[in-house]
Chains A and B, each alone.
Chain A
């Protein structure tokens, strides 16, 4: 991949909060002109990564670049080329929608008032509506309008679907797709909604406990994850025999295995445990969830549900 084709680049990016590592040696490239989805469970380090990328938080170690500029010294000019939608669609409650537009217009030279007005109309928000008086979904709409109307080269979205109804969510995804098609725009979207990822993203990055586990094209990722179903006892001893095992999940008498980069060696190892084991077609959701499931938590929830039954 050529250097100038990278919109976001991190090298060994590490951030500690006290003794706790929120991000560990994260090395990631987000190519220009593509939509990359950043996926991870709550507290995985996604928002920390975005704050580091935008220079809102200094790293403990490592570095990050945004559009070729060091993230800790982003110039105002670079910032105007980057749109950022913060988690929770934060807006100052005292503001009217038109005040929000004014705030952006004065500091983003490529401000698109027409787009902003259209989006407000779509979300049914009057320019004179005060932010604290509109619904959560409408606030999300204003927030999105404020971000998209800056006409950014790089769009960084932190959970943009939060608070949106299905219609608005669909509109958002379509809007982002249309946006991405214009002039090689880059989008880094952080989301928990895997449907949106499937519809929207070219690439996927999975962060778990501050570590980057996946950074790949979406189809390549699907291809490189395999699944088996077997009807046999499966414990730590058996797990140690399967290289690349991501997750094993017990449902009644069956065990579902998810494995990274399965090959003939994997096949042999699985068959050795259970001769009746058979390959299973995995959806993107299955594959991603395998990475995200914190073992202890899921185990305890299953146990709890089992006890209730």
Chain B
């Protein structure tokens, strides 16, 4: 192994700069073009650092795998490599280790250099930490599977425009999936990365050792997975493109003039279905019709025009958990504004540094040069910002509000201290919140619903803007004008999405609504309750459709998803979101039974088609009954796309006619399948000269010249 390792190293070291140079260029350009926070995330439409490094590392690995194998394709070169006192396994290991070392130098060298640079610069010029490179390093490890894919593509005996290039496609897809999922579902990204690496290295080893034949079960299994994923991805991509085109066309037709249906608290505190018309001239919704909700029936057909002064009660809504801030990232960008400072304006940017538990204030200079200007610490006596949950937009003076698990804070645009608007009790670690901004342009108020356990804090802050728009003009001040801790009724406390309003201005009861916007067919609960959670009145009704733009989005894409892929997707949703994920999938299906049933029905045809294709392919490859039975299971779960892998996993059976019976028979067995004649018995032509043998004159050759 050592011999081959050194030989490979010396032979291919010259390619290393071709990997190092693009890596360095990408890292430097990414650093220069980064907008303040240098991390693995994605900003705007640009590729994230992780995806870029993943893409480049995968290309480097693929090219390295190619060049390390291509030269061995010549029989003489392969003979010189393998015909020596080592096993083919050892030769593969030598190649692998040399490839790994060269890849490490090309990919991890620049990454380490970048980490050293970031460490030396600190956070003075960018909100950056060497740990931002960890996801890139992890994706680079997974991308090494492309080295094995390169080797596999070169070594394997297959048609280039058939299944030969497909393993490379799957490896690239896996790396891309890892890069996309790294910051979202880390365990899934890690699993995909490790699985791809293991499957590809194992398959490549087997194919290398067996002279390009996928003759073993391991190689067949690896190829089957790789090819099924590749074929399935291609089919689903086409289906998705068609579906996207259809949906966009339908949306374009519907978006011009449409209505949005929502449930609001009417002036009486009761739930009303309202219709808001979207105006294409001033780009906003205006409620023009409403109808009081009735139990167990739709009121869509009872909507009546409402007077211009008809207004729903102001409500606090919680539309989600507010967990959109990745806990794995050190820096969270809070906002950016041009802040008046004396006679000039200074452009500033604010970043929450979770590690330092401080807000970093950067001054932005021309040509996007950043410089750390101040560090704002959490105010006493709270002492910590806790976990970020939500924030308001930055106003023209640079003031903005953040909601964390320890309280609500006002961050000043020009000041040096963060103010506490509301300090939360200690047991609020599971807080989730939603900031509601009133849509009335004359009054710019922040409405906060802070929820922890079965209680909510309702806050309304004065935040009055003299100008008719929210984004311009000076802000007079900020303070809490309404604050109340309310005990939720038990039934409402368990709901994730709630709306609360006060049914009268002074000292009245509260009304609460637990509609489920994503599952409109599900009954919604309405309560009138006191501040201590005591229920005064309770109703149930069905919300009905709330889609802003009613678009006929067919689910034909789902028809191409085979049961196995669906099961994997379902399992991922279940693991990631627990019961709620499954419940949501199920409820969605129940909400649109017909729309869901059609693709499911088509999806069920897939196993049938898969089995038919598998039987055909197995017969073509002359698989025995046991192997065919195993493939039928695979075909059941992965449909025709999975069945096609049979053709690549097994070599084509060559047939020719038997010398004895003239029937066609396969040539890789000792005897004719039809008559049992030994295929090794080649008829003599009468000119053979063998030791201790006599020539049998049977059929002399034709003369070469007449």
Which residues of chain A have a CB within 8 Å of any CB of chain B? 11-12, 14, 16, 18-19, 21, 24-25, 27, 47, 51, 54, 56-58, 60-62, 76-77, 79-80, 82, 84, 86-88, 90-92, 94, 99, 103-104, 106-109, 211-217, 220-221, 224-225, 234-236, 238-240, 242-250, 260-261, 291, 293, 295-296, 298-299, 302
Contact = CB atoms under 8 A, between A and B. Distances in A.
B242 interface: no
Contact of A245 (B7, B80, B667, B687): B687
5 contacts: A16-B667, A58-B210, A80-B84, A87-B75, A250-B703
State the majority secondary structure of interface residues on B.
loop
B697 A243 contact: yes
Interface in B685-706: 686-691, 694-695, 697, 700-706
A247 B689 contact: no
A16 B654 contact: yes
Contacts of A99: 10
Given A12-B680, A107-B85, A244-B686, A54 B79 contact: yes
Interface in B455-469: none
A25 B75 CA distance: 22
A51 B689 contact: no
Contact of B689 (A82, A90, A92, A261): A261
Contacts of B697: 243-244
A216 B691 contact: yes
B282 interface: no
Contacts of A90: 74, 76-77, 79-80
A57 B654 CA distance: 17
B416 interface: no
Contact of B211 (A58, A88, A103): A58
A245 B680 contact: no
A25 B679 CA distance: 8
B288 to A, nearest CB: 74
Given A92-B80, A235-B703, A243-B695, 9 more contacts: A19-B656, A56-B82, A56-B83, A60-B654, A92-B77, A214-B690, A221-B689, A239-B703, A260-B689
Interface of B: 2-3, 7, 10-11, 71, 74-80, 82-87, 210-211, 213, 215, 654, 656, 667-670, 679-682, 686-691, 694-695, 697, 700-706
B79 A299 contact: no
Contacts of B679: 12, 14, 25, 61
A106 B703 CA distance: 54
Nearest to A76: B85
For the complex of A and B, the 10 pairs showing the least CB-CB separation, nearest first, are A243-B697, A90-B76, A12-B680, A86-B76, A250-B705, A107-B84, A248-B703, A295-B704, A80-B85, A261-B695
A97 to B, nearest CB: 14
A88 B75 CA distance: 11
B83 A82 contact: yes
Nearest to A156: B83
A60 B668 contact: yes
B85 A213 contact: no
A224 B83 contact: no
B700 A239 contact: yes
Nearest to B697: A243
Most buried by A among B77, B682, B686, B703: B703
A91 B669 CA distance: 37
Nearest to B215: A58
A291 B686 CA distance: 12
B385 to A, nearest CB: 59
A239 B690 CA distance: 23
Contacts of B71: 92
Contact of A106 (B2, B82, B694): B2
A7 B697 CA distance: 31
Contacts of A239: 700-703
B80 A91 contact: yes
B211 A236 contact: no
B691 A107 contact: no
Given A19-B656, A103-B7, A104-B84, A86 B691 contact: no
Contacts of A21: 667
Given A62-B680, A236-B703, A248-B704, A107 B86 contact: yes
A25 B669 CA distance: 12
Contact of A108 (B80, B84, B681, B689): B84
Contacts of A109: 85
B687 A298 contact: no
A249 B79 contact: no
A246 B687 contact: yes
Contacts of A298: 704-705
A57 B76 CA distance: 12
A57 B211 contact: yes
A99 B8 CA distance: 12
Nearest to B704: A295
B690 A84 contact: no
Contacts of A248: 703-705
B691 A245 contact: no
A84 B83 CA distance: 8
A15 B596 CA distance: 54
Contacts of A25: 679-682
Contacts of A80: 84-85
Best-buried of B85, B87, B689, B706 by chain A (most CB within 10 Å): B689
Given A51-B75, A224-B689, A245-B701, A18 B654 contact: yes
A239 B686 CA distance: 13
Contacts of A108: 84-85
A78 to B, nearest CB: 9
A236 B82 CA distance: 49
A303 to B, nearest CB: 8
A291 B705 contact: no
Contact of B670 (A24, A61, A84, A244): A61
